[in-house]
Structure 1
C-alpha cells in the first residue's frame, strides 16, 4: 500500500482510471506536435560520421575484393570486354581496363609477320617526319593556301557536258587513275584543248598526232590551275604535260601586257641534271619558235644551269624571260645575285621530283621557294614515285590531283627485258656480241665513270663509233657527245645515270646495262630510254655475283610484273618474303623506294641514305671520311 507521502491529491478516482487518462493526454499531445514527420525522417536517414582514414581503408578493401573476384571469374570463364560495348559506360575503372588489355596481349603472342609489319610501320613513320615543301616565310608565318589558283582556260562545252559514265569510260579505256577533288574531264584530242594552231602544226610535224594517256588527263589538269602529281611510264610524254600549259600561260601574259626588262618569269621548271634541263629548254624553245612563225608574240625562255655562260642569253635577261628552265644550284646563285626575281612567278614544276629529293636537292628547292612572293601552281612528275614521296608531296600542295598511268615504278611494257649472267672479267668482251642484237643507236649504262671510260676506249679500238658522257666531263664535252648521238653521227652512247633521267633519244633500239644499278628505280629509268612513244625496244642487263641479292629480287618481281621471262639464276633466289607476297609480287611493294623484292626493313636505298647522313655528320664534326684518316 502506498504511503501518504507518495500519493497525490488525486489518488482516488484518478488512481482507478489513471492509465486511460494518461494515454488520452499523450495522443492529444502527439496530434498537436507539427514536427513529428520531420523528426522521424531525420532519425531514419541519419548516417554516423566515419573518419577519412577509415573510409580509405574500406575503399582499398572493396577494390581488393573486386580484383580477386575478377581473377576468379577470368579463370572460370571468358569475360566480355567492358570497353567493347560502345553504347553504355564501361563497368571497370581505367586501371582495370589497362590491366585487362595487357593481359589479353600477353595471352595472344604476335606472329613473326605481325612483328615485321609493326617494325616496318615504325621505320616508315620515322622517315616520314619531314617538313612540308614550303618556303621558310610560309612555314614561319604558318601560311596555308586552301583554294587552287584560277585560270582563264575552259574546255569546250561538249567536253564539259560529258556525263560521269562517259568520263569513267575514257579513263578506264586508257588505264588512267585519278585521285583528288573534282578533277577536270579527260580530253582525247589536242584540238579540243584549245591549243593555238601553230603549236598544233608543230606537234603534227614532230609526229605527235594524238595525246598519250598521261596527256589526255594531265594537260587539262594543268590548264585549270590545279596542283598535280603526274606518274607515268618512261617515254609516255610527261614533258609535254607541263611545258605546253606553261607556254600558253606565258603567251597569255605577254599578250595582255608585254614584258619589259626586270619582269618575269611566269613559270619555273626545275630538273635534277643539266642534260634534262637542256632537253626541256629545247622543247619549249621549239614551241616558242612555232608561235613566232604563226604571228604570235615571242615567248622568251631562259636556261640556267652550270657549265654554260649566261652572257649568251643576255638579250633574254634584258628583255625579261617568260619561262626559266634550271638546275637547283645555278638557279639559287642567280636568285641570290638578283639577276631576276620570282615575284610574278605562279607556276612551278619539278621534273623527276622524287629523284631531286633523293639526290639531296630538297633543301635547295626549299631555299628557292623562299623567293616566291605569292601562291603558285605546283606540279611534280616522275615515272618512279613511291608512296613516301607522294604523301610528302601532298602535304605541300594545295588540293592536288594525282594522275597515274600504270604503277609508279613499273617498267614500260614496250621494252623486252633480257637478263644474262656474265662474269665480271668477261663483260667488256661480251659487249660486242650484245651490240649485234639490234641496229644502232644503242645506249650502254655503267655505274661509275672509270667503267664508262674503259668501255668507250674499248669500243673505239674495235672500230665502233661511240661517244661517252659522265659527271667528270666538261659541259661542252657532254653536250657535244649528246648532240652527236642525237644526230646519228655516233652509233653508241656510253653513260652513267646522268643520261637515264628523262632524256629522250628518238629511235633507241637497244639499252645495255653493263652492271645492275644499286637501286631498282635507276634500272626503270635506264631501260625507259628505249620503247618510247609506242615503239618496241630491247634492254639487256648483265648480272653476276657482285650484284646485290636485294636488287636482284626487285628485278625478279619486276620481270614477273611485266610478263617477261625470268632467267633461272633469278628464279633460284631464295625469297624470305615469299610468305607475304601476293600474285607476282603484288602487295609486297616497299613503301620507301617502290621495290617489289624487299620491304622497308631491308631497303637498300634507305640503308644508303642512312650511310650518307652518317658521313655528313662525320664531316661536319671533323671526323675521318669513309673510315679513313
Structure 2
C-alpha cells in the first residue's frame, strides 16, 4: 500500500513538472543567475565579461596554409637542424640553465627548451662574424639573444618578446644566415632556386633597416671566406628592376612587407617550395587586423613545414594565444613583461596646454644635443611642427604615411647621417626603426594606445644606452590613456607627476583585479573599453561598408 502511494506521489510530481511552462523555467534560471551574480564581486563579473569578449574576438583560424587546412595536415614535431650546443653546455644541469636565465631576467615557457648561451662563440657563430660584431660594439649577446638564438638554431618555433632596442633583429637574422650558409655550402643555389627564409615586416622603413643589417652581416661573412648570400628587399615604392641582378642568381633571403611579397609570389617571380624559415618582426602588428589575411595568403604559398618565429616588444595575450595555437611546440622567450617600457629610458610626463606646445617644444629641444625624434599622431601636425622648427632655424625633416617613398627615404637617410638634427614623425617611424645615438624622444601628442607609446619611447635607450622621453599631455588626452600611462610609469619605477597620481582607477575602487587588457596589454583598462579593439571594430565596419557600396 505504501509503495502504491509513493508511486502515485512520484506521478503527481512528474505531471506537475511537465505542466510547468518554459516561461516559468526561464524565470527560475534568471532568478538563479541573479542570485549567483549577487554573490559575485564586481571584479569577478568584470573578469567574466572580459573573458566572453576575448572568446568572441579570438580568431579560430590558425596560421596555416589553405592546403594544410583543407587536407588536415598537422605537424607535430619541430624541424630538425644540424646544430647542437657545445658539449660542456649540454652537460649543464637544468638548475644551472635556470640560474643563468634568472641572472638575465629571461622567462621561458615550452617543452624541451634549448639551453641559454651567453657567448657568441659558444653558440658556434663563425669567428669572422664574432669579430665583425665586436667591431660594431656588440661584444656579448643581449638577454633575448642568449635564449633566442639557441632556440632558433635548434629549429624551434618561437615567440620572442623583449623591450625595444634589445637586439631582436640579430636574434632572428643570425639563425637564417647560418641556415642559408649551410644550404649554399651543401649545393650552391642557381637561378630560380630559393629562398631559404623570409622576414616579414609591417612597414617599408623597418624592412629596409632589416635588409641593410642583413647585407652588412652577410658581406662580413663573405669577406671572411664564406659563400656569398643573396638577399632581396621586397617593399612597395621601389622598382624591382633595380634588384633584377638578385634574381639572376639563387635567392637565399627575402626581407619584405606583406603586400609586395604577395604580389611577387602571385606573379611567380619566385616560390616558397624550399622555404623553411619564416620570421615576423613586430608580429602583433602583422597578425592584427589589416595584415592577418595577407599573412594567411602568404602561408598558402608554402609547400612544406617551416620554422616560424614571432618577435615584438608588445605581444598582448590575444596574439600570444593565437600564436600558441598556430606554432609547433612553440617556446615563449620573454625578457620583461610583454608591453613593458624599456627601463633604460627616463620617462618625463609634462602637462602642457595645447596652445603652448610649440613654444615648449623648442625649450625641450635644448635638454639634449641632437639627434632628437618628435612624435605626433596627426600627419598634418607633423608637417606643422616641421614647418615651425624650420622657421626657428632648426634642421628638421618629417616622415609620415602620406609622404612618397623617396621623401621617406631622404628623411631617414639625412637624419641617420647627421645632416638633420630633428625628425618629426607619425607612428610609422616608431615600429622597430633603429637610429644611432638618439638621446631624446619628444611625444608631442600622446597616442591613444599605450603600445604605440612603448614603441615611440623605445627609439631611445637602445643597446644598453640611456635616453630621455618627454611626453606632452593635457585636457585633450583621454583619461583612460592617462591611466595606462600612470601604471606604466609605476611599473618602470619612474616618477609619476601629481596630476597623474590624482587619476583613480574605477576598477580599483570596485575591488577588481588589475591584470591589464589582453588585447593591447594596457594596465589601466580591461578589454571592454580597449581603444585598440574599438579601432579594429571601426575599421572592420568601414571595410564592410566599402564592400557593400562596391556595386553602386
TM-score normalised according to structure 2 size:
0.94
Question: What's 1:44 paired with?
Answer: none
CA distance in 2, matches of 1:65, 1:249: 74
Asked whether the 8 Å contact 2:386–2:397 carries over to 1, the reply is: yes
Question: What's 1:564 paired with?
Answer: 494
Partner deviation per Cα, 1:215-238 (whole Å, 9 max, x = no partner): 000000000000000000101000
CA distance in 2, matches of 1:59, 1:362: 59
Equivalent runs, 1:453-464 vs 2, <5 Å: 453-464=383-394
Asked whether the 8 Å contact 2:43–2:511 carries over to 1, the reply is: no
Classify 1:580/1:111 alpha carbon distance in 2 versus 1 (closer, same or farther; 3 Å). Answer: closer
Equivalent runs, 1:135-534 vs 2, <5 Å: 135-534=65-464
Question: What's 1:21 paired with?
Answer: none
Question: What's 1:588 paired with?
Answer: 515
Asked whether the 8 Å contact 1:550–1:604 carries over to 2, the reply is: no
Quick one: which of 614, 618, 628 aligns to 2:541? 614
Deviates more, 1:471-480 or 1:57-66: 57-66
CA distance in 1, matches of 2:385, 2:100: 47
Deviates more, 1:282-291 or 1:55-64: 55-64
Higher relative contact order at CA 8 Å, sep ≥6: structure 1 or structure 2?
2
Q: Secondary structure of the residue that 2:51 maps to in structure 1?
A: helix
Gaps of 5+ in 2: 18-25
TM-score normalised according to structure 1 size:
0.83
Deviation of the 1:445 alpha carbon:
0.6
CA distance in 2, matches of 1:389, 1:415: 26
Deviation of the 1:358 alpha carbon:
2.4
Classify 1:581/1:608 alpha carbon distance in 2 versus 1 (closer, same or farther; 3 Å). Answer: farther
Asked whether the 8 Å contact 2:42–2:510 carries over to 1, the reply is: no
Partner deviation per Cα, 1:60-91 (whole Å, 9 max, x = no partner): 1365899xxxxxxxxxxxxxxxxxxxxxxxxx
Asked whether the 8 Å contact 2:399–2:426 carries over to 1, the reply is: yes
Partner deviation per Cα, 1:103-143 (whole Å, 9 max, x = no partner): 86554523333322221111111011431111111111111
Taking only aligned residues, the RMSD between alpha carbons, in angstroms, comes to 2.4
CA distance in 2, matches of 1:453, 1:312: 31
- Which runs of at least 4 in structure 1 moved beyond 6 Å after TM superposition? 98-104
CA distance in 2, matches of 1:274, 1:348: 18
Question: What's 2:22 paired with?
Answer: none
Question: What's 1:546 paired with?
Answer: 476
CA distance in 2, matches of 1:522, 1:99: 47
Q: Secondary structure of the residue that 1:251 maps to in structure 2?
A: helix
Partner deviation per Cα, 1:564-596 (whole Å, 9 max, x = no partner): 1111221122321123679xxx84211111101
Q: Secondary structure of the residue that 2:546 maps to in structure 1?
A: helix
- Kindly tell me the number of residue pairs found equivalent between the two proteins: 542
CA distance in 2, matches of 1:594, 1:65: 53
CA distance in 1, matches of 2:515, 2:301: 41
Question: What's 1:122 paired with?
Answer: 52
Q: Secondary structure of the residue that 2:522 maps to in structure 1?
A: coil
CA distance in 1, matches of 2:104, 2:147: 10
CA distance in 1, matches of 2:494, 2:511: 18
Asked whether the 8 Å contact 1:581–1:588 carries over to 2, the reply is: no
Question: What's 1:597 paired with?
Answer: 524
Larger Rg: 1 or 2? 1
Deviation of the 1:364 alpha carbon:
0.3
CA distance in 1, matches of 2:134, 2:289: 36
CA distance in 2, matches of 1:163, 1:438: 48
CA distance in 2, matches of 1:550, 1:527: 19
CA distance in 2, matches of 1:523, 1:581: 28
Asked whether the 8 Å contact 2:157–2:328 carries over to 1, the reply is: yes
Asked whether the 8 Å contact 1:514–1:542 carries over to 2, the reply is: yes
Deviates more, 1:382-391 or 1:450-459: 450-459
Asked whether the 8 Å contact 1:440–1:508 carries over to 2, the reply is: yes
Classify 1:623/1:363 alpha carbon distance in 2 versus 1 (closer, same or farther; 3 Å). Answer: closer
CA distance in 1, matches of 2:93, 2:230: 40
Q: Secondary structure of the residue that 1:555 maps to in structure 2?
A: helix
Classify 1:575/1:335 alpha carbon distance in 2 versus 1 (closer, same or farther; 3 Å). Answer: same
Deviates more, 1:247-256 or 1:458-467: 458-467
Gaps of 5+ in 1: 1-46, 67-97
Q: Secondary structure of the residue that 1:559 maps to in structure 2?
A: helix
Q: Secondary structure of the residue that 2:506 maps to in structure 1?
A: coil
Question: What's 1:132 paired with?
Answer: 62
Equivalent runs, 1:4-23 vs 2, <5 Å: none
Asked whether the 8 Å contact 2:42–2:511 carries over to 1, the reply is: no
Question: What's 1:61 paired with?
Answer: 12
Deviation of the 1:359 alpha carbon:
5.0
Classify 1:106/1:353 alpha carbon distance in 2 versus 1 (closer, same or farther; 3 Å). Answer: closer
Deviation of the 1:516 alpha carbon:
0.3
Asked whether the 8 Å contact 2:201–2:258 carries over to 1, the reply is: yes
Classify 1:285/1:543 alpha carbon distance in 2 versus 1 (closer, same or farther; 3 Å). Answer: same
Asked whether the 8 Å contact 2:120–2:141 carries over to 1, the reply is: yes
Question: What's 1:11 paired with?
Answer: none
Partner deviation per Cα, 1:365-396 (whole Å, 9 max, x = no partner): 00001000000000000000011100001111
